[in-house]
Amino acid sequence: MTLDELKPGQECRVVKISAEGATGQRLLDMGLVSGTRVKVVRNAPLMDPFDISVRGYSLALRRSDAKGIEIKPL
């Protein structure tokens, strides 16, 4: 399962970042490493991008980039 499949209010843990290159590195740099707890907060009006809460701050992601984050729902 990947992060883009979650709905607002759902929580999960990151299993693995499968995105490579610049996107993968940026996701890691922002603290989305294996085991990190993530909560989906809300979608933008057109469902994309969406807002997550991670490590106590708020992060906006596009769905296409979130496909690179493998997760396990909590």
- State the nearest-atom distance from the C-beta of 71 to another protein, in Å: 15
Q: Which is nearer to another protein, 5 or 51 (CB)?
A: 51
Q: Which residues bind another protein (CB under 8 A)?
A: 16-17, 20-31, 33-36, 41-49, 51, 55-62, 65
- State the nearest-atom distance from the C-beta of 73 to another protein, in Å: 20
For residue 43, give every residue at least 6 positions away whose Cβ sits within 8 Å of its Cβ, in sequence order, or none: 8, 50, 51
The strand pair at 69-73 and 57-61 is best described as: unpaired
Other beta carbons less than 10 A from residue 42's beta carbon: 13
